[in-house]
Amino acid sequence: MHNIYLILTKHRESGLCNSDELLKIFEKIKPDVIFEEISPSRFNAYYKDHSVSTLETNSIKKYLEIQKIKNIPVDKDIDMSEVIKEYKYFRYLNDFFFNNSIDYCKLWERNVQMTDQYGFKYLNSTTYTEASNNIRNMEKTLIKCCNSKELVHRYTIWVNSLLERDVTMLDNIYNYCKKNYFERGIFTIGAEHKISILELIQQNKDNQIKINWIYDEYNIDIAQTNGT
């Protein structure tokens, strides 16, 4: 059976959430393959042209100097105009949430604080899953109460776009596993995808290709940030 560690991360370095800490996770797991949240068409930009980089690609480059393994891009290919459009939708929605709910701001700020303080231990914990669920539920409530068709439209497009990417990434991983055997793999993906990815993993549990998904490795007590 293929064993894949789902490692939730951020694309930009912040506090303990940085490329050196992620490299330590790679060195501990010793994967045979790493699946990445980048599209095949952008792979050369990260690994050959070096024109762009993320926290994850920086860690993977360092690990490739230690171990010669395969790193596989699994994200959906979309053109840059769609990427720009999605980013504008994200900014528009983010501004709405922050401008219309103090509680939302507090939840988001606590998430940032915990990520900086505990890094990957937080992002890959049940505590983060609960916090992420709370944020998503608050977003849905705010959207429902806004009485704006335009906002609902943009939110629906944004959510569907993320879901399409998540489905594509998991499909690509399952297809790779169908054709290739390995003992240990890692799937690095932005933490905001966690809820959707976990739901899709559950839906795939009867898939002919059996994958032992490993996640929620830590349990970080959020009360620690209050000094208790």
Ranges of H-type helices in the chain: 19-29, 43-47, 55-66, 80-100, 102-118, 120-123, 126-146, 149-179, 194-203
Element (H, E) at 9: strand 2-9
Span 72-107, pLDDT tens digits: 999 999 776 676 677 677 788 889 999 999 999 999
| Domain residue limits, the chain | 1-228
DSSP 66-101: H---EEEE-SPP--HHHHHHHHHHHHHHHHHHHHH-
> 31 near 50, Cβ under 8 Å?
no
> 9 near 189, Cβ under 8 Å?
yes
Looking at residues 32-61, what average pLDDT do you find? 95
Choice among 3-12, 77-86, 162-171, 215-224 with the minimum mean pLDDT: 215-224
The highest-confidence range among 60-64, 125-129, 202-206, by mean pLDDT, is 60-64
Choice among 31-40, 94-103, 169-178, 215-224 with the minimum mean pLDDT: 215-224
Q: Which carries the bigger pLDDT value, residue 61 or residue 222?
A: 61
